[in-house]
Amino acid sequence: MTTGPDVEQNETRATLRTDDVTAQISLTSEHQESVLRRKLLQSKEESPLFPKTVRLRSEIETGKMGEKRVVPGPLKKTLEWDVKMTDKAVKMFDQKYGPLSKYNSIFKGLEISCHGIPWLIVTATFIFLLDSSPFRNLMVNIFLVLIFDIIVVAVVKAIARRRRPERNQNDEMIGSFSVDKFSFPSGHCTRAVMLSLLLPLKYDLFFWFSPVLAGWGAAVSISRVLLHRHHILDVIGGTVIGILQAMLYSLTWLSDESAQGLVNFFLDETQVGASYDV
Q: Which amino acid belongs to residue 189? A: C
- Residues 52, 81: one domain? no
Q: Where among 31, 62, 93 does a domain terminate?
A: 62
CB-based contacts of 161-169 (< 8 A; 24+ apart in sequence): 161/69, 162/79, 162/231, 162/234, 164/228, 164/229, 164/230, 165/83, 165/86, 165/228, 165/229, 165/230, 165/231, 167/228, 168/227, 168/228, 168/229, 169/228
Decide if 228 is catalytic. no
The Cα 113–Cα 268 span in angstroms is: 32
160 plus 247 within the same structural domain = yes
Is the residue at 67 inside a domain?
A: no
163 DSSP assignment: B
Output DSSP code: residue 179: G
- Tell me the sheet residues that pair with 163: 182
* 275 within a domain of the structure (yes/no): no
Residue 272 within a domain:
no
Give the chain's end-to-end CA distance (angstroms, integer).
89
Whole-model pTM? 0.69
Q: Does one domain contain both 83 and 39?
A: no
Domain final residue pick, 19, 41, 62? 62
Same domain, 23 and 108: no
DSSP for 56-71 reads HHHHHHHTTT-PPPPP
Instruction: Judge whether 171 lies within some domain.
Output: yes
User: 50 and 131 share a domain?
Assistant: no
Give the Cα-Cα-Cα angle 181, 186, 187 (nearest 5 degrees): 90
Are residue 55 and residue 80 in the same domain, yes or no? no
Biggest alpha carbon–alpha carbon distance for the chain: 93
**Residue 70: per-residue pLDDT:** 78
Domain end: 39, 62, 85, which one? 62
Report which of 37, 5, 7 is spatially closest to residue 21, judged by C-alpha positions: 37
Number of domains the chain contains: 2
Beta-carbon contacts of 260 under 8 Å, excluding residues fewer than 6 positions away, are 132, 136, 137, 271
User: Are 10 and 99 in a shared domain?
Assistant: no
Residue 231 bears catalytic tag: no
In terms of residues, how long is the chain? Answer: 278
68 domain residue, yes or no: no
Looking at the structure, tell me whether residues 40 and 131 fall in a common domain.
Answer: no
pLDDT at 18: 40
Same domain for 161 and 99: yes
Q: Which of 115, 188, 228, 231 is catalytic?
A: 188
Residue 276 included in any domain: no
**Catalytic residue chosen out of the listed positions 31, 115, 228, 230:** 230
Q: Is residue 273 part of a domain?
A: no
- Together in a domain, 47 and 110: no
Nearest to 263 by CA among 166, 158, 138: 138
Strand-pair partners of 182: 163
* Domain identity same for 15 and 98: no
We report the CATH number of the domain holding residue 158 as 1.20.144
Give the structural domain span for 125: 74-267
Residues 168 and 211 in one domain: yes
pLDDT tens track, the chain, 278 positions: 444 544 444 443 444 344 444 444 444 444 455 555 565 555 544 444 444 444 444 444 444 444 567 778 888 899 999 999 999 999 999 998 878 888 989 999 999 999 989 999 999 999 888 877 788 889 999 999 999 999 999 999 999 999 888 887 654 444 444 447 889 999 999 999 999 999 888 887 777 788 999 999 999 999 999 998 999 999 999 999 999 999 999 999 988 888 888 888 877 655 444 443 43
In this structure, is residue 69 part of a structural domain? Answer: no
